[in-house]
Amino acid sequence: MSLIVQKYGGSSVADAESIKRVARRVVETKRAGHQVVVVVSAMGDTTDELLDLAAAIADAPPSREMDILLSSGERMSMALLAMAIHEHGETAQSFTGSQAGMITDTSHGKARIIDVSPDRVQESLDTDHIGIVAGFQGVSSESKDITTMGRGGSDTTAVALAAALNADACEIYTDVDGVFTADPRVVKSAHKIDQISSEDMLEMAAAGSKVLHLRSVEYARRFGVKLHVRSSFSQHEGTWVLPGPDDTIALQEGEPLEQPIISGVAHDDSEAKLTISGVPDVPGKAADIFNLIAQAGTNIDMIVQNVSDDTKTTNISFTLPGADIEKSVQILTDNKEQIGFEELDYVPQVGKVSLVGGGMRHHPGVSARFFTALRDAGINIGLISTSEIRVSVITDIEDLGRAVQAIHTAFGLDADQEATVYAGTGR
């Protein structure tokens, strides 16, 4: 019998009616012949409301207590869902993260999973129950305290359980139909991707796609879990995110399908760009700069270094989260003399557009087509960054939408064009 893990987020369980809707879906899945484990988030905005309550009480709440507070949200929704399933004559048992064997480190608020031992969940399935697990939480192996996993925690719980239970699929229910070739709010002609390799999905998530959290895609990739991202409001197939060797995706064993060269176009409007010019061209200067940035707690994305005109100094540019621009500018300015740079400029918001596709490894025309499309659309390119399966550029923020559309069309991804670009067509 196949086993499916289903994850429902906050908006899917926002109130009594929604919970009943989810229960119907879960029961249908079981009656279609599957074993089912359901991972739930807290109802609606509960987590944010609990954060507000904590903020009204304390400026710097101890993280252990914060996790105890936040984890109560999932406990409520899991118990209510179990009751709703029971009304259909099916039996469900709910488990906290701890009871489900989600063992984490002690990093309260952003705990990492170190082991999953879902014995009680397995027992529940073996005795013909539906298992329900509170997402977003685990227990610290050291301190035995409850921990929460940070953003994307419920998705990660679902994938980790699917891996540990050897599930046939992990369904992530959300309020869109799946992963699209570009954000449909930016590109009207974007269409839903039927299958995407987890490698490509990783790049899409890292490059700005918000449908799936990077962390859960990483986990699925590493442990070979098949993800199915779909809408909780319809019965349509969504997007399958499939782990597999390069260039092939197998929905079932032994059935390789042609992999499209290109999966889609991701964009990100949350970054700022900082340029430090006239940096003395001596060893260690870049290290000094990035150590300072790290001290400020800032994560850097793209980095570009070039010699400057006089060739005795270099210019270093990099992108970073827009929210971190002030403290980063501050720490560099405070240390200007020690580093010895001439000038520091920044743009508080830039656009980043990325083309993603595992197939570009073996198809050299991709970069050329990419830059041609941007030139033809009259879009200025700032920094460029590539990986084996991704090409990204920084644009002015005003140009971002047009850039995404131009790339989308140039690679035949528009819904009214011929399907996706396939290997071997030489396009």
Q: Which residues bind a copy of itself (CB under 8 A)?
A: 16, 19-20, 50, 53-54, 56-59, 61-62, 64-66, 68-69, 71-73, 75-76, 78-80, 82-84, 86-87, 92-94, 99, 144
- Measured from the Cβ of residue 188, the count of other Cβ atoms closer than 10 Å reads 10
C-alpha to C-alpha distance for 73 and 162, rounded to whole angstroms: 22
C-alpha to C-alpha distance for 20 and 140, rounded to whole angstroms: 32
Least distance from a copy of itself to the Cβ atom of residue 134, Å: 9
Beta-bridge partners for 250 = 256
In the complex with a copy of itself, the residue whose CB is nearer, 51 or 292, is 51
Give the β-pairing of 35-40 and 146-148: unpaired
Least distance from a copy of itself to the Cβ atom of residue 315, Å: 47
Least distance from a copy of itself to the Cβ atom of residue 131, Å: 13
In a 13 Å sphere around the CA of 125, the CA atoms on its Cβ side amount to 25
Least distance from a copy of itself to the Cβ atom of residue 44, Å: 12
In the complex with a copy of itself, the residue whose CB is nearer, 64 or 112, is 64
Residues 6+ apart with CB under 8 A from 153: 135, 136, 137
In the complex with a copy of itself, the residue whose CB is nearer, 118 or 243, is 118
Least distance from a copy of itself to the Cβ atom of residue 410, Å: 51
Least distance from a copy of itself to the Cβ atom of residue 43, Å: 9
Residue 108, classed as helix, strand or coil, is coil
DSSP type of residue 155: H
Residue 69, classed as helix, strand or coil, is helix
In the complex with a copy of itself, the residue whose CB is nearer, 46 or 198, is 46
In the complex with a copy of itself, the residue whose CB is nearer, 28 or 388, is 28
Beta-bridge partners for 95 = 133
In the complex with a copy of itself, the residue whose CB is nearer, 77 or 420, is 77
Residues 6+ apart with CB under 8 A from 371: 381
In the complex with a copy of itself, the residue whose CB is nearer, 36 or 80, is 80
User: Cα-Cα-Cα-Cα dihedral of 11, 13, 15, 20, to 10°?
Assistant: 140
- Measured from the Cβ of residue 391, the count of other Cβ atoms closer than 10 Å reads 21
Least distance from a copy of itself to the Cβ atom of residue 230, Å: 24
